[in-house]
Structures are given as structure tokens and as C-alpha cells.
Amino acid sequence: MFDIGDWMLSIFGPYGAWGVVLFVFLIFLIDALVFPTLPELFFVIGFMYDPTLSFGVTLLMAAAVAEVIGITTLYLVVERIRVPAKIRNIADRYIKFLVCSDERMLLVNRVAPMIPFAGAFVSLIDSWKLSRALFYVVLGCIIKYGFILLMSDFFQRYFESGDAQTYTIIFVIAVIAISFVAAFLKKRKSGVTDENR
């Protein structure tokens, strides 16, 4: 059976720990800048390279820095193009449908991902400030991936190596699934559906 973790580590593992850190950094950067990449899964695969708390913290810092760079870059790109007022109004109406309409939504976004291309939204919503948005992005990153890191460390400590990897992957897939379900339920509750757009 194809093991994605072994495949990823076979590409970046030969470059040592910094190769894995660079890989996690690039995954999070692409996720923040271009398209969703399931960073939770790749974060934990990177952690399996060296399942120590110190290496996990290094990965967490790489993830946070990558997200800050990705969101800031997208923000600056959107700031420099002339976005039609109609698109700004659509973005503004969309945000007002959500649980909260300020930058704290980026924290909620960690549990129920409803704001794609967050950097663009920060630019489009007049009342949002980049500094506050980045604060909530980093806070959410530390909380979510710190929790994943602690659970991964728990599995590594109390289960055999093969079982620990299996349980960790199952846990991360469950986190991803819960996030998608939460986003779907939030959209239905707030009336943000394809029919209402």
C-alpha cells in the first residue's frame, strides 16, 4: 500500500531536519497564498520525521511564519489591483453572514474554514486591519497545530512506533473532517449557501 508519509519524507528527508522544515513551510505558504493543501496532514507527517517536542515547535514556527508571509503577500497583491466595488460588496455581505464579522473570524476559520484566500479578504473588507488579522492567524495556528503537536507527541509516547503513526494520521483526518462538517453547518446556520449567493 502506498504510504504518503514515507513518500514525502523520501523527497525531503535526505536534506535532514531542515529539509522537512522547509517542506512544511512551503505547504503552509501555498495553503495561505494559492489553494488549500490539507496542511494538518503534512504538518504531522513532518513531525514524524523527528517526533520530539523541540522539532515540533520548530515546525510550528515555520507554519506560523509561512502563513504570515502568504497572507501578507496576498493582501499586498489585492491592495495593488483595482478591485471592482461589486466584488468588495459581495465580500462584505459574505462576512456579515458569518459568526462574527471582524478579524476574529480568522480564529474561527481554524475550526470551521469558511474564508478562503484570507489575505484577499483582509484587503477587501474596509473595517479589517492587517495587523489584527495576522494576530488572529498566528494565534489560531499556535492553538490548532500546537494541539495537533501535543496529541502526536502523546501517541508517540504511549504507543509503538507503527501504531503511533496510524493513530496520529487517523486523529488528523478526524480534525480535518470535523472542520469541514463545522464549516458546512455554520454555512447552513448563517444562510450562506449557493442559493443565497
Output the pLDDT for position 136: 95
Output the pLDDT for position 44: 85
Helices (H), ranges, 34-160:
39-49, 53-79, 85-97, 105-108, 118-124, 130-158
Q: Is the pLDDT at 90 greater than 80, yes or no?
A: yes
pLDDT tens digit string along 151-179? 887 877 777 666 666 766 776 777 767 76
Q: Is the pLDDT at 99 greater than 80, yes or no?
A: no
* Alpha carbons 139 and 64: distance in angstroms, whole number: 9
Domain-wise residue ranges, the chain: 4-190
Region of residue 81 (phi > 0: left; psi between -120 and 50: alpha; otherwise: beta):
beta
Buried b / exposed e across 165-183, counting CB within 10 Å, b at 16+? bebbbebbeebeeebeeeb
Residue (of 30, 29, 63) closest to 45 by Cα position: 63
Q: Which residue has the cell 483526518?
A: 173
Q: How far is CA 139 from CA 7, 65, 76, 101, 115, in A?
A: 31, 12, 21, 18, 16
pTM value is 0.78
Output the pLDDT for position 101: 82
